[in-house]
Structure 1
Amino acid sequence: MNELTILMTLATVHFVALMSPGPDFALVVQNATRFGRQTGFYIALGLSFGILLHSILSLTGVSYVVHQHPALFALVQVAGGSYLLYLGLGALRSVFSRWSLRQQPSTLADDPSLLLSSRRQAFSRGFTTNILNPKALVFFVSLMSSLVPSTMSVPGKLSALAILWSLSLAWFSFLAWALSTKRMQRKLNSASVYIDALCGLLFSGIGATILIQVLSAL
């Protein structure tokens, strides 16, 4: 298999994975819907740099070493699961607060765990959510080890990194843009509380599942 075919296969597999619902997808949906296009873009930027770092660590073998050492991988799982659970519980707490106060669905919550008041916070939320996701670590170790041979040229490996990063940024930025158009905002505004609830359940469910898996393996 020549390098061009490898890169095309890598791009296809990665793009399909990007479109699959998960913490990254949910984070963009929740925050682009709630806080608008700029926040959504900086979350997308943070997510794409998290993916870039995962790709570099996998390509250099660092992630493989972590994955092969149970204690190190367990620490990554605990950190990632705890962070996702924190995001999920924060979203659910905001939902319950809005329902209990009988606020309109369009009212923004003042929960500090959800409020993103700067570009830096939005970028950090995206980067942290991706880089602490242990499922992302396993995915990129598998992706790189199965599709990128060790004999691949340096330009080929750099191209692989560029493809993974640019596809991630393009997809999540498009998602943020599509969800923050005026027409879409009018449709989603009244459903924001339900979007928060679904995202909160997703984050909490994935985080709790990861932590349970770690505890059951002890």
Structure 2
Amino acid sequence: MDGQLLAFTGVAAGMVAMPGADFTVVVRNALVSRRAGIACALGVAGGLLLHTALAVAGVAAVLAAVPALFRTLQLLGGAYVLYLGIRTLLALRRPRTAAVEEAATAARPLRQGFVTNALNPKAPITFLSLLPQFVPAGAPALPRTLLLALIVVVLALLWFPAVALLVDRLGRRLRRPRAARLVETVTGTALTALGALLLLEAAA
């Protein structure tokens, strides 16, 4: 692997592992079950695959050039994260078994992970600005950017399932009623705050 690929891998790993809405929603689902956590992690990776594909295709440039479209996606993303946060906090009023049954199928966590990541309009623009920096001068752009995009997706497929498995491993302690309520309160509050910040940023 050449030096530029090593450098990109380090930068991309930092971006993927940075705590945010993706991390929080994976933790929240992993607390319900390993299956839900892994499904949510795969959904996040699917969202990153979409973003990197958009960046490679140049569609992200359209978002950068059309402020109204970018702001609309910001509002949608912020509203969805806020919705997840409020829903998590409201779920604290219900019996624990009801929350577990709600996430019993893989479809809901998978969708939550995908939508949470996919509705982040900053991601494709970030990749659009980042990927060209690691394409050597004179090298064909498309094969190189596809390789860089693949690295991002592979990192996501390693990191987020690892987070879900770690939370599940600690689950015996974390799923105790008092600990579970505390963690869900923290994750719900974090999602609500992130969603509110995204909405405020979009409205500014």
TM over 0.5: yes
1:90, 1:111 within 8 Å by CA — same for their partners in 2? Answer: no
Mark the CA change 1:58 to 1:71 in structure 2 (over 3 Å): closer, same or farther. Answer: same
Instruction: Tell me the equivalent position of 1:142.
Output: 129
Contact 2:131 2:145 in 1 (8 A): no
Q: Structure 2 vs 1, CA of residues 149 and 126 (structure 1 numbering), >3 Å: closer, same or farther? A: farther
* Contact 2:4-2:134 within 8 A present in 1 as well: yes
Tell me the residue number matched to 2:58: 61
Q: Does 1:189 align with 2:175?
A: yes
Query: SS state of the match for residue 117, structure 1?
Result: coil
The more displaced of 5-14 and 137-146 is 137-146
User: Tell me, which stretches of 5 or more residues in structure 1 are unaligned?
Assistant: none
> 2-side partners of 1:41 and 1:121: how far apart?
12
Unpaired runs of 5+ residues, structure 2, are: none
Show the 5 A alignment for 1:78-89. 78-89=75-86
Size of the alignment, in residue pairs? 201
> What amino acid sits opposite 2:143 in the alignment?
P
- Which position in structure 2 is the counterpart of 1:43? 40
1:35-76 deviations in Å (ceiling 9; x for gaps): x21111111111111101101111222112112211000110
Q: Match of 1:75? A: 72
- The residue aligned with 1:125 is 112
The alpha carbon displacement at 1:152 in A equals 4.1
* Cα distance per residue 1:104-158 (max 9 Å; x no partner): xxx344499xx32322222211111100123433432332243346854343222
- C-alpha displacement of 1:94: 1.6
Structure 2 counterpart of 1:16: 14
Contact 2:49 2:149 (C-alpha < 8 Å) held by counterparts: yes
Question: What is the letter of the counterpart of residue 36 of structure 2?
Answer: T
Q: Distance in 1 between matches of 2:186 and 2:74?
A: 23
Q: How many Å separate the matches in 1 of 2:186 and 2:109? A: 20
Higher helix share: 2
TM-score by length of 1: 0.83
The secondary structure found in structure 2 opposite 1:174 is helix
